[in-house]
Amino acid sequence: MRQCGFLFNLVLFFLLTIGNFSCTPINLYEQTVAIPAHRWSSRFIPQFAFVINDTAARYDLSITLRHRDLYHYNNIWLEIDLESPDGKKYKFKTEKQLGTNQAGWLGTGMDDIYAHRIPLLNELIEKQVSLRKKGRYIVSFKQIMREDPLEQVMNIGLRIEKRP
């Protein structure tokens, strides 16, 4: 009988703890899109929508990218579109380094798959983009490499973190 009371109290404690944490706002958005057949056509333009409610906070945006070791280049060229809640549109092209001939891939690897988290801060500052408007933002990524479709890219994504 005593053991059932202890078990009941333990389960109740875990339920209350889980319920307490579920009300805490999440300071992170991350979503990825799989590239069909690992062949990224320039016609395939993944979009990511997110909502900013806290306009006093600062946010860091990053591209997340996974590719196979057989990826043919040390870099990737992207065209990035960002639409703010007021309908203002920003478009910029950027080159991101994924590796070097001397050091190899710059991301983290497991077997023959490499993952990169690439900050977008410089591009946003250059275009004077700030996430200071409350509402829904839309970001899209288009690959603009000479190889089309771009082979061995597994997925592309967007990560947004609220700065502490």
CATH number of the domain to which 90 belongs: 2.60.120
Kindly tell me if the per-residue pLDDT of 144 is higher than 60.
yes
Does the residue 52 lie in any domain? yes
Kindly tell me if the per-residue pLDDT of 139 is higher than 90.
yes
Which strand ranges, in their side-by-side order, compose the sheet holding 75-83? Answer: 47-52, 135-143, 75-83, 89-97
pTM of the entire structure?
0.80
CA 115 to chain centre: 11
Does the residue 15 lie in any domain? no
Look at the chain and report how many structural domains it folds into: 1
Does the residue 16 lie in any domain? no
Report the pLDDT value the prediction gives residue 73, as an integer from 0 to 100: 97
Does the residue 9 lie in any domain? no
What domain range is 133 assigned to? Answer: 26-162
Kindly tell me if the per-residue pLDDT of 13 is higher than 60.
no
Looking at this protein, which amino acid is placed at residue 162? K
Residue 5 pLDDT grade (very low, low, confident, very high; cuts 50, 70, 90): low
Higher confidence at residue 132 or residue 33? Answer: 33
